[in-house]
Amino acid sequence: MSRALELALRGPAWAENPQVGAVILDSDGRILSEGWHRGVGTAHAEVDALSRLARGEARGTTAVVTLEPCNHTGHTGPCSVALIEAGVARVVYAMADPNDVAAGGAERLRNAGVEVISDVLADRAAELLHGWTTAVRLGRPYVTVKWGSSLDGRIAAADGSSQWITGPEARADVHLRRAAAGAIVAGTGTVLADDPRLTARGSDGDLADGQPLAVVFGRRDVPADAAVREHPRGFVQFDGRDPAGHLAELWDRGIRSVFVEGGPTVAAALARAGLVDEYLLYLAPVLIGGPRLAFDDLGVATLGEAQRLDLVSVDRLGGDLRIIARPTAHADGPASDTNG
């Protein structure tokens, strides 16, 4: 299963379908074949692994897969049926599929006489797919709010300068995470003040492959010469009055994750609406002072109303700290059909 989880990471992190890996073992536990899902419309991990075997070679084997084999027809057929027809004798998976439309593969396999073992390294699989499963459960893109700040919590100096509070290691990490996102969001205040490109770049400064969509929240006009207008995918602007509605529209466009780069108005609006799934902070050992904070008013009048978070990780990147925190609970929302 550890190998299957490694293979899953080769797939796109924020496609409409989840990252899934699969390994086919012979009766002695030797690996015969490996596979992973490469995105919507391509073979699912199990089918990818089966396709690498000769006809009849899968009979009597064990399939180890990170997610319960699907049980529906989307862009491709059900993986549960493919495994049954190939003659696989045993299926081991890490976690059940949270998507009601695609779930049910385990039951179908058992009904066909296939031995099924579940919940193997389930915690690791759940963390790998945390963002995707959260998006499926809530029926909207997974929202990460990112900022870099000084030790005293400031994101810019009094004159507005903010480049660079954090060091090169933190900035490289940001671009890796940008590249994995479905969309990068900034408010019009940030666009007017900083003129960001809202692109993802590699360590050499070149554009990364598969750029996320650039999205601007706010009612002010984006200048004709703004850098975001040169984005390779163009940009989309929403007025910012209905964050939940804007996320719904992005979901309909196939966006499964949103990486919010600022500013404080957008970050606060999403936080007040309970629409932030993850907070990503890069904390630099520098003091700035002044009023420039990462969030506008959150509507918290007393400490008892503060939004409580769970620390997921604290890591050192060069001279900075990277802190990842998530709300202690999410409001449930409708699941959506995202397998295919």
Q: 3-state SS of the chain? A: CHHHHHHHCCCCCCCCCCCCEEEEECCCCCEEEEEECCCCCCCCHHHHHHCCCCCCCCCCCEEEEEECCCCCCCCCCCHHHHHHHHCCCEEEEEECCCCCCCCCHHHHHHHCCCEEECCCCHHHHHHHCHHHHHHHHHCCCEEEEEEEEECCCECCCCCCCCCCCCCHHHHHHHHHHHHHCCEEEEEHHHHHHHCCCCCCECCCCCECCCCCEEEEECCCCCCCCCHHHHCCCCEEEECCCCHHHHHHHHHHCCCCEEEEEECHHHHHHHHHCCCCCEEEEEEECCCCCCCCECCCCCCCCCHHHCCCEEEEEEEEECCEEEEEEEECCCCCCCCCCCCC
The whole domain housing 321 covers 139-327
Residue finishing a domain among 132, 167, 202: 132
Is 265 annotated in a binding site? The answer is: yes
Tell me the pLDDT of the chain averaged across its residues: 87
pLDDT at 337 over 70: no
**Catalytic residue IDs:** 46
Is 264 annotated in a binding site? The answer is: yes
- Give the predicted TM-score (pTM) of the model: 0.80
Report if residue 94 sits inside a domain: yes
Question: Which pLDDT value is given to residue 11?
Answer: 83
- How sure is the predictor about 118, in pLDDT bands with cuts at 50, 70 and 90? very high
pLDDT digits (tens, 9 = 90+) for 42-53: 889 999 999 999
pLDDT digits (tens, 9 = 90+) for 69-107: 988 777 777 899 999 999 999 999 999 988 777 678 999
Residues 123 and 147 in one domain: no
Question: Which pLDDT value is given to residue 49?
Answer: 95
Residues 169 and 127 in one domain: no
Q: What is the CATH number of the domain that holds 182?
A: 3.40.430.10
Is 194 annotated in a binding site? The answer is: yes
Residues 227 and 118 in one domain: no
Question: Which pLDDT value is given to residue 325?
Answer: 94
Range in 164-178, 240-254, 320-334 with the lowest mean pLDDT: 320-334
Is 124 annotated in a binding site? The answer is: no
Residues 158 and 286 in one domain: yes
Question: Which pLDDT value is given to residue 338?
Answer: 38
Residues 115 and 261 in one domain: no
Is 225 annotated in a binding site? The answer is: no
Report if residue 340 sits inside a domain: no
Residues 252 and 227 in one domain: yes
Q: What is the CATH number of the domain that holds 68?
A: 3.40.140.10
Structural domain tally of the chain?
Answer: 2
